[in-house]
A = this chain, B = another copy of it.
Amino acid sequence: MTNYFSSKFKLGILGGGQLGKMLLYNTRKFDIFTAVLDSSNEAPSKIASNEFHLGDLMDYDAVYNFGKQVDILTIEIENVNVDALETLEKEGVKVYPASKTLRQIQNKAKQKLFYRDQNIPTSDFTRFAYLSEIEDAIVNGGLHFPFVWKAAQFGYDGNGVKVVRTLEDLEGLPKGECIAEELIPFKNELAVIVARSASGEIKTYPVVEMEFHPEANQVEYVICPARIPDSVAKKAEEVALKTSKAFNHVGLLAVEMFQTENDDILVNEVAPRPHNSGHQTIEASYTSQFEQHIRAILDLPLGRTDSKVGGVMVNLVGAEGYTGNVVYQNIENIMKLDGVTPHIYGKKETRPFRKMGHVTIVNEDLNEARRVAELVKKSIKVISE
């Protein structure tokens, strides 16, 4: 077995954002040697990595040359050059998630087709090569309002997704490949993080419940465990496990799902890495999602996924109307509240809806944690100087 706990082993991470930064707390805890590739010299995870490399994650040579220097390569963002990963795999570098998994996920149209092929429940959809084809379909009567437009590639954090109710809603959208999804009236958005190690050990985290900001389409609260009947939680877990099995991923797979009015579970989308819906695991779970991802890709035994206490996570996003050097207004006030831990990602500049951090609220009583989370949400404001 590889001795990861020695300086002869090197773990590479594509992307140096906040997820990479939180991964690095755990590589430091285990004293695992890390190299990070990112295109920004101000990347949040620049500091805690052993080596920091500057380069474009979408560039074949940058990713290939970086990957050649490491033993195991992982990602903290899906938008990376997958061709380079495929070459690296052929040349013996362990890449988790695999290039195959990333290809299935990177393009949202392919991802939806994959669910259909694998009999994984998902909303109905139509694939379009160009935005203009959507307009044609509407005019021809082949597509009806309302529906959800999604860019096939490179959309995340609310970019690349829009509910379309009129032709005007299509104005200004990117012209390229996209899908039109049935708009699902749902009771809840749920998520399950599945961890799968290189040798196939599998564990699931409890089902969490997500509340989205209506305009920014970003998660406002993540509540763990979800306040849903056991039968629904069980169904969500089964669907997540089926999805995990279909992808055969190594590392984490965050499975986002809708709980419909009829308590059906439909897969919305997945992310093969630590995920916003798992940040509360740092304080609430026996094993944080970040430690678990490291355990999984290094083929170490997986840790317990159940919770010590109830957890609620609040995203800290840049307030509207503020752009520039960030200030976390009232952060001292929220730290007075019981069980509150702010996580500041270390991005110097704020802009509207940019993810700047998150706050976890834990309590033995989940309802109390939820109550405090609302106070947090009302107090703290991410503004500029």
Contacts and interface: CB of A to CB of B under 8 A. Distances in A.
A30 interface: yes
Contacts of A309: 308
A294 B159 CA distance: 37
Contact of A300 (B301, B335, B348): B335
A344 B31 contact: yes
Contacts of A301: 332, 335-336
Interface string A354-372: 0001000010100000000
Main secondary structure of the interface of A (DSSP, over half): loop
A348 B7 CA distance: 8
A128 interface: no
A48 interface: yes
Contacts of A348: 7
B30 A342 contact: yes
A325 B3 CA distance: 12
A167 interface: no
A348 B47 CA distance: 20
A327 B6 contact: yes
A295 interface: yes
Interface residues of A, number: 47
A209 interface: no
A303 B335 contact: yes
Interface stretch (A21-29, A211-219, A252-260): A21-29
A335 B295 contact: yes
Given A30-B342, A336-B301, A339-B286, A5 B291 contact: no
A341 interface: yes
Interface string A225-246: 0000000000000000000000
A186 interface: no
A117 to B, nearest CB: 36
A21 B28 contact: yes
A34 to B, nearest CB: 9
9 contacts: A5-B327, A5-B344, A6-B325, A6-B327, A21-B28, A25-B28, A31-B344, A308-B309, A308-B362
A160 interface: no
Contact of A344 (B30, B308, B344): B30
B295 A31 contact: no
A328 interface: yes
B304 A339 contact: yes
Contacts of A340: 303
A60 interface: no
A100 interface: no
A344 B345 CA distance: 24
A173 to B, nearest CB: 35
Nearest to A356: B31
Given A301-B336, A304-B339, A336-B301, A28 B5 contact: no
Interface string A290-307: 010001000011011000
A346 interface: yes
Given A30-B342, A31-B346, A327 B3 contact: yes
The CB with the most chain B CB atoms within 10 A, among A1, A30, A328, is that of: A30
- Counting from the closest, the 10 A-B pairs by CB-CB distance are A31-B344, A31-B346, A301-B336, A308-B308, A48-B48, A301-B335, A5-B328, A308-B309, A25-B25, A300-B335
